[in-house]
Amino acid sequence: MRIVFLDRGTIGPTVTITRPGFAHDWIEHEQTAADQIVPRLEGAEVALVNKVPISAETLAQLPDLKMIGIAATGYDRIDVAACGARGIVVSNVRGYAINTVPEHTFALILALRRSVIGYRQDVIDGKWQQSGQFCFFTHPIKDLAGSTLGIMGEGVIGQAVAKLGQAFGMRTLFAAHKGVTGLGPLYTPFEQVLAESDVITLHAPLMKQTRNMLALPEFEQMAKRPLLINASRGGLVDEADLVTALERGLIAGLGFDCLTSEPPTADNPLLAVLERPNVIVTPHVAWASEEAMQTLWDQLIGHVENFQAGRPSNAVA
166/257 same-domain check: yes
Q: Answer whether residue 269 is part of any domain.
A: yes
Q: How far apart are CA 300 and CA 114, in angstroms?
A: 38
Q: Answer whether residue 206 is part of any domain.
A: yes
13 burial class (0-12, 13-18, 19+ CB within 10 angstroms)? exposed
| DSSP codes of every residue in 109-121 | HHHHHTTHHHHHH
149/275 same-domain check: yes
CATH number at residue 295: 3.40.50.720
87/122 same-domain check: no
| DSSP codes of every residue in 120-153 | HHHHHTTHHHHHSSS---SS----STT-EEEEE-
How many domains in the chain? Answer: 2
Q: How far apart are CA 288 and CA 268, in angstroms?
A: 24
The per-residue b/e assignment along 244-257, b for 16 or more CB within 10 angstroms, e otherwise, is ebbeeebbbbbbbb
115/145 same-domain check: yes
Tens digits of pLDDT across the chain (317 residues): 999 999 999 999 999 999 999 999 999 999 999 999 999 999 999 999 999 999 999 999 999 999 999 999 989 899 999 999 999 999 999 999 999 999 999 999 999 999 999 999 999 999 999 999 999 999 999 999 999 999 999 889 999 999 999 999 999 999 987 877 667 778 999 999 999 999 999 999 888 889 999 999 999 999 999 999 999 999 999 999 999 999 999 999 999 999 999 999 999 999 999 999 999 999 999 999 999 999 999 999 999 999 999 999 999 98
Q: Answer whether residue 164 is part of any domain.
A: yes
Phi-psi region of 151 (alpha: psi -120 to 50; beta: other; left: phi over 0): beta
123/226 same-domain check: yes
**Residue 203 near residue 232 (C-beta atoms within 8 A):** yes
Strands (E) located in 36-105: 46-49, 67-70, 89-91
153/77 same-domain check: no
Q: Answer whether residue 314 is part of any domain.
A: no
Q: Answer whether residue 316 is part of any domain.
A: no
Residue-range definition of the domain harbouring residue 45: 2-96+290-308
153/302 same-domain check: no
41/112 same-domain check: no
Q: Answer whether residue 45 is part of any domain.
A: yes
Q: Does the predicted TM-score (pTM) go above 0.75?
A: yes
The total of other beta-carbon atoms located within 10 Å of residue 168's CB is 17
91/110 same-domain check: no
Residues with active-site annotation: 233, 262, 284
Q: Which amino acid is at 74?
A: G
Q: Answer whether residue 49 is part of any domain.
A: yes
**Residue 38 near residue 10 (C-beta atoms within 8 A):** no
**Residue 125 near residue 104 (C-beta atoms within 8 A):** no
Q: How far apart are CA 311 and CA 302, in angstroms?
A: 11
Q: How far apart are CA 218 and CA 177, in angstroms?
A: 13
153/135 same-domain check: yes
8/68 same-domain check: yes
Q: Answer whether residue 76 is part of any domain.
A: yes
138/244 same-domain check: yes
